Structure 1
Amino acid sequence: MRDKSKIKLTKEKKEEMISLIKNYFLNEREEELGDLASNLMLNFIIEELAPEFYNQGVYDSYKYMNDRTEDLLSIQIY
């Protein structure tokens, strides 16, 4: 993603996500990840994976709105 449209998180949300990553690795892989490793993992997800999910959400929203707009034509009076 371009820097101006990069996903931005509040400090609290980022800390929550880092905690979730640490808990995931501990519970699912029995590995303890530190703050640095979890932060790097989160940054990778944000920079490399999140744009695909974001773009899918944009497309789904576009499709939904386009379908609803088409429905408006059904209320025309002839």
Structure 2
Amino acid sequence: MKHIEFTPQQKDDLTHKVKSYFRDELDQEIGAFDAEFLIDFFAREIGPNFYNRGLEDALITLQEKMDEASYVIQELEKPEGY
């Protein structure tokens, strides 16, 4: 799997969210460098778990839609000798 990368804008937004979380929930101030380091860690070590879960969810949804399509196609079949 390719390493998870973010655009500069995404990284900036994520950095802001991490800093806000630490300030609001943990009553700690961290700098942008520490927040970016933490984001890189999560992307590398935990991100693949979320990515794989997203793929599993997509596969389940796709299978459900394929089952629905199969059912609709069966309904369109004409009886033999029609």
**TM-score interval, smaller chain:** 0.7 to 0.9
Q: Runs in 1 of length 4+ with deviation above 2 angstroms?
A: none
Q: Alignment identity in percent? A: 24
> Once the two structures are superposed, what CA deviation does each residue of 1:57-76 show, in whole Å capped at 9, x if it has no partner?
00110111011111122122
Aligned to 2:55: 58
TM-score, normalization by structure 1:
0.88
TM-score, normalization by structure 2:
0.84
CA RMSD after TM alignment:
1.1
Query: How many matched pairs?
Result: 75
Q: Determine if the alignment matches structure 1 residue 43 to structure 2 residue 54.
A: no
Q: How does 1:1-78 map to 2 (within 5 A)?
A: 2=1, 5-75=2-72, 76=74, 77=77, 78=79
**Whole-Å Cα distance in 2 between the matches of residues 8 and 37 of structure 1?**
17
Max radius of gyration: which structure? 2
